Amino acid sequence: MLKEIRIHGRGGQGAVTAAQLLAHAAFLEGKCVQAFPYFGAERRGAPVKAFTRISDEPIRIHSQIINPDYIVVLSPELMQIVNLTEGLKKEGLALINTTKKPEEVNLNGWRVATVDATGIALELGLLVAGFPVVNTSILGAFAKATNEVKLESVLKAIKTTWSGSAGEKNAKAAELAYERLIKGW
Which residues is 132 bridged to in the sheet? 127
Distance, in Å, from the CA atom of 117 to the CA atom of 49, rounded to the nearest integer, reads 18
Residue 41 reports pLDDT greater than 70: no
CA distances from 178 to 36, 72, 172 (A): 24, 14, 10
Given a contact cutoff of 8 angstroms between Cβ atoms, the answer to whether 70 and 54 are in contact is no
Given a contact cutoff of 8 angstroms between Cβ atoms, the answer to whether 46 and 11 are in contact is yes
The architecture that CATH gives domain 3-183 is 3-Layer(aba) Sandwich (3.40)
Structural domain boundaries of the chain? 3-183
Residue 57 reports pLDDT greater than 70: yes
Query: Is-above-0.85 flag for pTM?
Result: yes
Angle at 19 between CA 100 and CA 56, to 5 degrees: 110
- pLDDT tens-digit profile of 95-118? 999 999 999 998 888 999 999 999
Q: Do you know the residue count of the chain?
A: 185
- pLDDT tens-digit profile of 149-182? 999 999 999 999 999 999 999 999 999 999 999 9
Residue 42 reports pLDDT greater than 80: no
Residues 6+ apart with CB under 8 A from 52: 4, 5, 7, 19, 22, 23, 26, 33, 34, 35
One-letter identity of residue 77: E
Query: Which of these, 2, 7, 1, 17, lies nearest to 93 by C-alpha position?
Result: 7
DSSP state of 133: -
